[in-house]
Structure 1
Amino acid sequence: MSNVIEQAVEARLVAAAPRMPTIPATLAYDRSDPFAVRMTFPAPATLENVEVCWTFARDLLATGLRKPCGLGDVRIRPYGYDRTVLEFHAPEGTAVVHVRGHELRRFLARTEKSVPRGEECLYLGLDEDLAALLREA
């Protein structure tokens, strides 16, 4: 089984520049970082014209499909029929995107087959990391 799960999603850009009706984005999950997911936007969809990657908790994404959540840079909430709103707050401004809920649920289901929710600690590799640190000391 692969350690990394990637899935392309179509995001509808609601508030950001340059204005684009839909943009491709990529969701990624790595078993070696089992609490996190990453959402990457291509360069043409960003203000600086560089690829941008946001990292946030997998639980935040799962909760945001059902009810509003997030207090920091990433906030997620359900919206209408099978839509989910993701807000990304940065010093340069805020980007708001809509993603189809079924795409996010499919991605989460794949991550949970790889690392079941509640069992993330088993995949952290803390013993190996500690041993490596001690070898270096």
Structure 2
Amino acid sequence: MHTDAVHQSQFVLLNESTTPVLSRLSFHADEPFAVTVAFRTERGRWVEWTFARDLLVTGLTEPAGLGDVRVRPDLSEDEAMLTLEIESPDGYASFELEREDVETFVSATIELVPLGSESEYFDVEGLIEEISNV
């Protein structure tokens, strides 16, 4: 079976809390430059953040991101974890993700859309049409 999307769920720790939060990483081949991370709230809703796949790839080995989303291997005391920081006008959150799970997810996205070939999968005309019809 062929699919054009990758989804992976895991429990993550929020701001050094002992209660894990359900998270989901998603990637769609028709949006090859982006990944989405979603966190399930207490009320059963999902809060989503979309950011550059390159940021996640780079964040596996070195600090990445200067804006609202940052990924860093060096803030966690445990080498098996990555730190994902998200900031908005509404607040700040820091999550610890299992490095191995993120590596598996990134590998699956690269299998669908190899790094450097994203523009071959991106429908610029479709985006322009979508923006124009607003």
Alignment TM-score > 0.5, same fold: yes
- In structure 2, what is the equivalent of residue 69 of structure 1? 64
SS at match of 1:44: coil
Unaligned runs of 5+ in 2: none
Identity %, equivalent residues:
32
Which residue of structure 2 aligns with residue 12 of structure 1? 13
Q: How far apart in 2 are the matches of 1:118 and 1:60?
A: 14
Q: Residue 43 of structure 1: CA displacement?
A: 2.3
Q: TM-score, normalising length from structure 2?
A: 0.85
SS in 1 for 2:37: strand
**Residue 122 (structure 1) aligned to one of 105, 120, 123:** 120
- In 1, Cα distance between the equivalents of 2:98 and 2:59? 12
Residues 71-113 of structure 1 show CA distances to partners (whole Å, capped at 9, x for unaligned) of: 1100110033111000010111101000010000000000000
Which letter does structure 1 place at the counterpart of 2:35? V
TM-score (norm 1): 0.83
Q: Which structure's CA Rg is the greater one? A: 1
* Structure-to-structure mapping, 1:6-45, within 5 angstroms: 6-14=7-15, 21-44=19-42
* 1:126 CA displacement: 2.7
Matched residue, 1:101: 99
Question: Structure 1 residue aligned with 2:80, among 75, 82, 94?
Answer: 82
**Structure 1 residues 14 and 123: alpha-carbon distance in aligned structure 2, compared to 1, 3 A threshold:** same
Tell me the secondary structure at the aligned position of residue 107 of structure 1.
helix
Q: Distance in 2 between matches of 1:66 and 1:14?
A: 21
Matched, 1:55 2:50: yes
Cα-Cα RMSD? 2.1
